[in-house]
Structure 1
Amino acid sequence: MKLFTYEEWGVPQSGFDTSYTFVRSHFVSPATLACIRAVLCLYSFTTIITCYTWLAHKTATISLKDVNLDPYTIQQGNAAIGQSFSFFTYLTFWSLGFYFLISAFHTFTYAFRRRTWLHTWPLPLQLLHTLFYSTITCFPFLVTIVFWGTMNSGWPAGRFEQWINLSVHGLNSVFAIVEIVLPATQPQPWNHLSVVLLVLSGYLGLAYLTQETQGFYVYEWMNPAHGKGGIVLHIVGYAGGMIALFVLARYAVVARNAVARRIGAVEEEMGEKGMKLDDG
């Protein structure tokens, strides 16, 4: 008995995505979808480059808190550029940028040639693309909810801090919503949830590795000095939240496809009535 089959993970052996759902939409043309993805890619990388350029010469003041911690303030300068690769927020935003880069390329190819490299890739790469889609439709929401719900301790005074907070903690979820609403993708397979949780667990290890190698906790709730019980509660809460977000994202895709089918049925019915009137 096989312990692993590509079909169970959304990549059937008979052919990957034969309806080209990853590169077309129920609501806009492939060219329009490609342009939207390209714009989001451009904004993602422009935001990161602008942020790093600003931090290289100036210092940002960030006010934070947590459910079991009083508000505190940190100063971020050029050292924060390297440290950003340990923050889940920035790793997620980098991932959005690369996802939109890859998906825009494939969608433009489909728009003008009606074929893509994605659909000729080896099965392991096609599987990674489906997993990539599942993660970028979940992780941004976790970032947004956690930051604005538990970590933000007030609206920052600086324009840079205001803009970067809105970009990486707000627009990130808007980008994820775009990928849930516009493409014609099928619902994320349930076993993708295990990979989503595995990535989240792997990040926890990265955060503590950062403390060992660089001497700081990425998030203060990870510091055992504040109580080990708080760490356990945070981990359980984030895991539960991630499961709920995956379910919501999956059924949002189900609802989108149902709406698209209904719209298609109405348009087909209207077309048939129009043909009967013409015949009459």
Structure 2
Amino acid sequence: MKIFSYASWGVPRTGFDPSHTFVRSHFVSPLVLACIRTLLCIYCFTAITTCYTWLAHRTATISLKDVNIGSYTIQQSDAAIGQSFSFFTYLTFWSLGFYFLVSSIHTFMYAFRQRTWLHSSWPKPLQMAHSLYYSSITCFPFLVTIVFWGTMNSGWPTGRFEQWINISVHALNSLFAIVEIVLPATQPPPWTHLSVVLLVLSAYLGLAYITRETQGFYVYEWMNPAHGNWSIVLHIIGYAGGMVALFVLARCAIVARHWIAKKTEGARRENAEMEEKGIKLDDRSDTWSSEMVISKPSQARRSSNHFV
């Protein structure tokens, strides 16, 4: 008995994604899907580049809080550019950008050549990694959005830059994830993917404390033991539980999308069949009418000849 099998992780023996669901859609053409993914990729990287350029010359003021921590203000300038790679928010946004980059390339290839590297030449480990990548970017953005607006936001910032970057990385990120749940024809992720999603979340916790040791600051204030060890434990349990719930909800949404697409396709086929039957009936009616028209002159000729 094998402890590990690719089939349990979304790569069956018959071949990875035989129906090309990662590059197709129930609702739009592959070319349109590729263009949408490209636009989202461009926006992600443009937002990050603009953010870093702005911080290199100016200072952003952000007010935060937590469930058991009062409001506090942090100043972000050029040093925040390097520090951003320790924030789960920005790591998730970077991940969205690279996912849309890779997926748009594959989708363009499928749109023009009906094949992709992902399906034809990539080894199984990379195919499995792409499937896991999809599972992560349809879950993590929602955690970022809910945690920020639900527990961390301490008022609407006054600066235009702060307003825009907050909307981009804490709101549009979830909109982009919704696009990836709704548009592609992807199958629901295997339940095994949930363990990897939780593992990534746990690994990030370790990264955050490494940042504390190497750079001297807590990425998120709730990680500071000064606020109590129980606070840290409860935050970890809460985020893990939220991650499980978000994975289940994302999976259910994909199942619902398949059901809606199936019903929609069934309705289209029924309409097409009804239209086809209507055309056949019209054709039969025309044929019958033409025979009647043709038969009359012949009868008339026969009658006239008999008269003569």
* 1:55 match: 55
Alignment partner of 1:206 is 2:207: yes
- What TM-score results when the alignment is normalised by the length of structure 2? 0.91
Per-residue Cα deviation, 1:99-133 (whole angstroms, up to 9, x for no partner): 00000000000001110011021000000000000
Per-residue Cα deviation, 1:83-103 (whole angstroms, up to 9, x for no partner): 000000000000000000000
Alignment partner of 1:160 is 2:161: yes
- The Cα RMSD (Å) is 0.4
Query: Which amino acid is the alignment partner of residue 245 of structure 1?
Result: L
* 1:9 match: 9
Query: Which amino acid is the alignment partner of residue 99 of structure 1?
Result: Y
- 3-state SS of the aligned residue for 2:65? strand
Equivalent runs, 1:117-266 vs 2, <5 Å? 117-120=117-120, 121-266=122-267
- What TM-score results when the alignment is normalised by the length of structure 1? 1.00
Structure 1 residue 52, shift from structure 2 partner: 0.3
The whole-number CA distance in structure 1 between the counterparts of 2:8 and 2:231 is: 37
* 2:305 match: none
Query: Which amino acid is the alignment partner of residue 139 of structure 1?
Result: F
The whole-number CA distance in structure 2 between the counterparts of 1:220 and 1:30 is: 44
The whole-number CA distance in structure 1 between the counterparts of 2:188 and 2:11 is: 13
> Whose Rg is larger?
2
The whole-number CA distance in structure 2 between the counterparts of 1:244 and 1:150 is: 17
The whole-number CA distance in structure 1 between the counterparts of 2:42 and 2:234 is: 37
Identity of aligned residues (%): 75
Per-residue Cα deviation, 1:53-72 (whole angstroms, up to 9, x for no partner): 00000000000000000000
- 3-state SS of the aligned residue for 1:80? helix
Structure 1 residue runs of 4 or more that deviate by more than 3 Å after TM superposition: none
- 3-state SS of the aligned residue for 1:218? coil
* 2:89 match: 89
Structure 1 residue 41, shift from structure 2 partner: 0.1
- 3-state SS of the aligned residue for 1:247? helix
* 2:275 match: 274
* 2:64 match: 64
Structure 1 residue 6, shift from structure 2 partner: 0.5
Per-residue Cα deviation, 1:201-240 (whole angstroms, up to 9, x for no partner): 0000000000000000000000000100000000000000
Point out where structure 1 has 5 or more consecutive residues left out of the alignment.
Answer: none
